[in-house]
Chains A and B, each alone.
Chain A
Amino acid sequence: MTAPALGAILSHWRRAPGQLAALVLGLALATALWSAVQAINSEARANYARAAGMLGGSQLASLTAPTGPISTETFVRLRRAGWLVSPVLEGDLRVDGRRITVTGVDFLTLPSGGAGLQTGSGEGDPAPLLRGAVALAAPGTAEAVRGAGITGLPRLVPSQTVAPGTLLMDIGAAHELLGRPGEITRLTVLADQPVRRAPLEELAPNLRRVAPGAGMDPVQLTRSFHLNLAAFGLLSFAVGLFIVYGTIGLAFEQRRPLFRTLRALGLPLRSLLTLVLAELLALALLAGGIGLVLGYLVAAALLPDVAATLRGLYGAEVSGQLTFRPGWAAAGMGMAVGGTLVAAAQALWRTARLPVLAAAHPRAWALGTVRRLWSQGAAGGALLATAAALSVAGSGLITGFVLLGALLLGAALLLPPVLSLLVAVGRRAARGPVGQWFWADAQQQIPGLSMALMALLLALAANVGVGTMVASFRVTFLGWLDQRLAAELYVTVQDAAQADRLRRFLDGRARAVLPIWEVEGRIAGRPVAVNGMADDRTFRENWPLLDAAPGAWDRLADGTGILINEQLHYRSGLGVGDRVAPFDGWRPEIVGIYSDYGNPRGEAIAGNAKLTALFPAVEKTRFALRVPQRDTDGLRRALTEATGVPAAAVTDRAAVKAASVRVFDRTFAVTGALNILTLGVAALAILIAHATLAALRLPQLAPVWALGLTRRRLARLEVARTVALAAFTAVLALPVGLLLAWALLAVVNVQAFGWRLPMQVFPLDWLRLLGLAFMAAALAAAGPARRLARMTPARFLEVFANER
């Protein structure tokens, strides 16, 4: 009995290959977008793990000097006193505009966690590594650095154990490569230390012990970004699942008479459900497999942009090359199967309750859906109320995402009843018989098209919301850059002597020479960079403050006040009027909070005079120059000739701004790509809905044709109806998108990045998006409409023919 029953059930797909294609394609796309995001996230996490494990990573404490490098003498003194410490030198190289970190270590005193590095190189003999003739790098990094023609570079050996964007070598080789002989950036403190050893305060009072994991942990920093990405993946999955839900519902409805017949012929209900379930699982595995392949391709295409984002926003290094990992593949397959079962749950439930003797009613599905519209609307309203309550009372990143989910799902559920009301208004306003039929028919189409239209609403709202957020961010960021980059030129010198030559040269040529420098401090238990700021009107007039105490700039200048950035303000809860102690013996009051977009770290600004008094030995090597705008090119040339500062070390405002904007745009490239993909899936949902409904449409259209409407006019009306429904959906998506943007800017961004942006609106972008939605809907309806216009009368007559 099972084999013929299964044959009968599967025969449906032979008769409806388009429906089968729609089901598989919808599920494959949903799985693909979800898997792509998971693949990207797991690749990034694997990279973070590599970086963390490289030198004992976050498990070991370090010794650092807040005022600059540690001398070799200090290192030797500590070792002789019994301290088991290992020196590390870190510096940067620029390769094609990308920062490559050079990490020099002493392999002989390296903690055991680094032992695996030598074997990871794949070279049996560790001697070349120990004597500095060889450096290790991740395969992608090694390839990029090799082609850059850097002089003094040891031979590069690819190693899977080194984090991307890092060159690992003997500290001696790093000294030479970076031109910083004898310097040590930090000392790694090994886990097992002798019990009896002299206290650190006696041996090296200028050193500070930094606890394990107190630095910038990329996993923590980027958590919000990956959560954002996962949320986008889930949204795409949900949009794809709408297609699956629609096609499964239709296929079940069309097979309702078959199920009854099978039951009447003696197939037990349990067997019927088992067969249907087996069919669904087989389809889910097939579509899931296709989705995984597509997902891998999408992830491979997006990963370089994601890597750029993580580098630009968080300074976290992620390789641009994707590795297949069973974890995300299994999760993707799980989502495909789970999603199919969720989408089919209702149809399975109704099949289980199907009475054997009830008459087949071909329109039962559509009519049932109409009845469900109102209960669906009530559920949508409840979800929107939840979102509203969360926006007032909730806090935290997870709550932010729950708010977004409730907002989007609530709006999607409310769409069909709202559309139904709008169409009813159109119907009342219609004058002629065709207009009246047009709206009445549109009303009847809403149940069949509702899933596709809900998918369109989600995609459009996400586009408006994320687009508004990114565009608001861009406008704010550009304005902020204009204020922050008040100086005309920025110069980096190599040492104090060059700095002196620069000052002498600029005497009388520049209106102001403003040093840019920083020392490490601690605020609210977190390491922060404290920057020195000169008391100059450049800053007083241009530096944007989000909140300030009266006389903030005067108090900054006299050393009684300090400014903190917005990120530190949100993360620590500190505000204007609070006192902090960034260094021992200095407790200034917070007198202002400044925006600091794109910086993942907490940061503070102190008056130059106070900071110099606290740290007199710190070398100042970066300067902002205020010079007349028309003189910048000439001055730049003269400066490099007179002081020996390389031309590359002098940048003007426009170049810094252009580079910042470039980083910004690349940062959000992945968001844009996911936006387009989601919109594409929604357009496909409409196309599939039309294709699957086309067969059901003919009996509805044939009488109207017989009564005197031409096929061409019917086709035009079909397109117009779809465009009208899409237009209503798009207009409704606009407020949902703006609410989404508000939630992203005011709730999620503050939690995720630590800054709050003013929301701005971009009506031209909306018009473009509306145009895109109309076009997508028209294109989706055009195919079936074209077939309708070209359909032979014989096809229409099949509806009426009782003979032949």
Chain B
Amino acid sequence: MALSDLLTLTPSGLYCPEADAHIDPVRPVPRALITHGHSDHARAGHGAVLATPETLAIMALRYGENFCERRQPIAYGETVRLASITASFHPAGHVLGSAQIKLAAKGGCVVISGDYKRAHDPTCAPFELLRCDAFVTEATFGLPVFRHPDAAHEVAKLIASCELFPERAHLVGAYSLGKAQRVMKLIREAGWDRPIWIHGAMEKITNFYQEQGIELGEIRKVAATDRAKLGGEIVLCPPGQLNDLWSRKFPDPVAAFASGWMRVRARARQRGVELPMVISDHVDWDELCATCVDTGASEIWVTHGAEDAIVHWCRARGIDAQPLHMIGYGDEDAETAEASA
């Protein structure tokens, strides 16, 4: 079975004609299958939305209860029939509720990865490897220079810096959904038991994580009057707030940023980051290559990121691979300011 029999690319995004459904569409469509809650994948305004209960809850938190006409929750491993297609959702290890989508037809099956990672993350279900005939993968960090180190080591750098500079506030830029909570959990695992401070824009999602039973310890929202007093403390904020008006009132702030992009010095410097923390919620190069092989797929489509390198790598190993050059998807860390609610 060829992948193009099952999936096609439309201006709204990937489309499965047989099931009459789009996957992570960038424009409103009648029926959408959503892999996870990040805003470049989960947009408001669709007719019916099929997604994990966590993803649906996150979309409601971000867009309001009326973000679509009809919600259809689907648990990991559960199947649903869409005409002749059997769809199922499986953990992608990216953020809470994130899923790979498997579409099975008579002649074979395809897996759409969404965003995924294979590294340890205590705040979401671990990636499940699915054997398939065709695999549609992201490649946000699709260059061999991207190899993510052990995240615990990166957090240890942060804590060592808090000890060396106890009078400076340590601001950690982290995307509000997923990355922030993972960093909080890692900070706890490193033995930090003081309160972790957060920017107001992270409050709703962080509360949601805690309601889902993820222990993050004492989390406090930064009030305007607190800022001057937070020397030596760890404060998480959306990346766009790191070097903006909001950060000024902190005592001599250290700008840290938790992102896979921090692997490359020029990227960190461009953003004025002083303490880069290479922590990513995407697969790195080695994991990407391994996954392409492990799925057993004979055909690979690369949706977004650095497509060319992984396409070259697959072809050199006799795996048929195509870049899709889809637009509208990016790494969430690239997003600048969020509303400072």
Do chains A and B interact in one complex? no
Q: Which residues of A line the B interface, CB within 8 A?
A: none
